[in-house]
Structure 1
């Protein structure tokens, strides 16, 4: 079987593609979860990677959990209530933890439906752009379920409590234009231009020193749960680290000398 995650690299930008188009890139098996978690670990330890694009193969971004597996009580959905609880905790819930801790910026290039856990996966990314043909649903209630992978925490932080409540409690699908209005995505593209545009944004991020983008992302994530005073203290610490990097000195020299910088990821 082909790998669930196809990884391609061009310079400091990595593109990761969910690769189960026949299953609309559903997230069900432990191997699928582990592929994403392991990928995050590899990216985290490679300081030369400065941006990631996450997309889906075929017509969908990610359809969430496989409903056929739910019916058959297989994969993630196998076992008694205690076993199911542990399967969620040690399985799919490791993905939001891994992506949340990943300091490299991640852009979701949403090429088609992002449904249930697929929508949550998009919300775990830092930026989201979408094809005009994409669609979105927080559809757990339609199956008598609740968001099991962090969506109740993620979605309100992306689009606000009221709109997140509307999407979560109705389970209704919204189109790409509505997603743009909600702030769920930052821009729309024609389908054929989506990946090019996502990689262009990734390239603009990657043109900056990796330590600066990683620390800035980390700071913004930590700031969501800290007081202003605590964020200022953390900002001072991160800034002190940044001032003592080679690439900071190179950036300052390049600015003053009016030339393109040459960063070395150190």
Structure 2
């Protein structure tokens, strides 16, 4: 599929999905989201050999969120009567979020400039979130009379606690990259000029790792966050069984015994 609103590249085992509407600050509509779903499905369906995904935005921002201009299919108001502002979530935005959470490979977000609204949600969905100094995170829904969506009311309280999440959502404040790091929203903050290189460094390391184990780590963390200790131990037991059946486990043990670097293949 030829893409008009995103770019998709693969190198060194890393797939990079770039939202490519810089003139619109990478705002999101159903056309953009549809292309993103199609691209992500290459990983889900085994059509790509990449073992790590990077999501970022072109130009001066990650994403300003849903395109609210009338007629843009981004969920904005029309000239008619009342609309169902949640419909586009059901058909597109939430579908993409579910796809990202279910990825069979590690997932990094490289956040440059603003990540607002739905863009904020996608930026925070990464397993590892690398933010440029210029980045900021904004839950702007209250400013237009809407509520946070695309998983933000599920993710943010788990990431930064109820009090901070409530403040961020009700006051519509910009959270700078440095404050986001202090709150535990992002993994690290780098200079703008270093964002691409640092992200690729991490992605290349993950792409060369034991992919099945890394995927079980990403899903296991989310599974266990809402479970009791006993339930969490059961999740770990199941995941260890699955990881232990991988070729990468056998290679890792052999490399350890032979005192050499492991050569993981993702199998």
Q: Under a length normalisation based on structure 2, what TM-score does the superposition of the two structures give? A: 0.91
1:10 is the counterpart of 2:11? yes
Q: Is the 8 A contact 2:160 2:184 kept in 1?
A: yes
Q: Under a length normalisation based on structure 1, what TM-score does the superposition of the two structures give? A: 0.91
Q: Distance in 1 between matches of 2:88 and 2:57?
A: 24
Match in the other structure for 1:180: 181
Q: Is the 8 A contact 1:33 1:92 kept in 2?
A: yes
67, 72, 75: which one aligns with 2:73 = 75
Q: Is the 8 A contact 1:103 1:217 kept in 2?
A: no
Match in the other structure for 2:36: 36
How many residues are matched?
262
**What's the offset of the Cα at 1:80?**
5.9
**What's the offset of the Cα at 1:111?**
0.9
**What's the offset of the Cα at 1:3?**
2.4
Q: Distance in 2 between matches of 1:233 and 1:177?
A: 37
Match in the other structure for 1:140: 141
State the secondary structure of the residue aligned to 1:6: strand
State the secondary structure of the residue aligned to 1:75: coil
How does 1:1-266 map onto structure 2 within 5 Å? 3-28=4-29, 30-46=30-46, 48-67=49-68, 69=69, 72=70, 74-77=72-75, 83-266=84-267
99-108 or 191-200, larger mean C-alpha shift: 99-108
Q: Distance in 1 between matches of 2:193 and 2:177?
A: 15
Distance 1:76 1:66, change over 3 A: closer
State the secondary structure of the residue aligned to 1:60: coil
**What's the offset of the Cα at 1:216?**
1.3
**What's the offset of the Cα at 1:82?**
6.5
Q: Is the 8 A contact 1:176 1:188 kept in 2?
A: yes
Alignment gaps of 5+ in structure 2: none
Distance 1:2 1:235, change over 3 A: closer
Q: Distance in 2 between matches of 1:202 and 1:131?
A: 16
**What's the offset of the Cα at 1:154?**
1.4
State the secondary structure of the residue aligned to 1:154: helix
220-229 or 52-61, larger mean C-alpha shift: 220-229
Q: Is the 8 A contact 2:67 2:74 kept in 1?
A: no
- The structure whose residues are more often helix, as a share, is 1
**What's the offset of the Cα at 1:231?**
2.0
Q: Distance in 2 between matches of 1:189 and 1:106?
A: 18
**What's the offset of the Cα at 1:63?**
0.2
**What's the offset of the Cα at 1:257?**
0.7
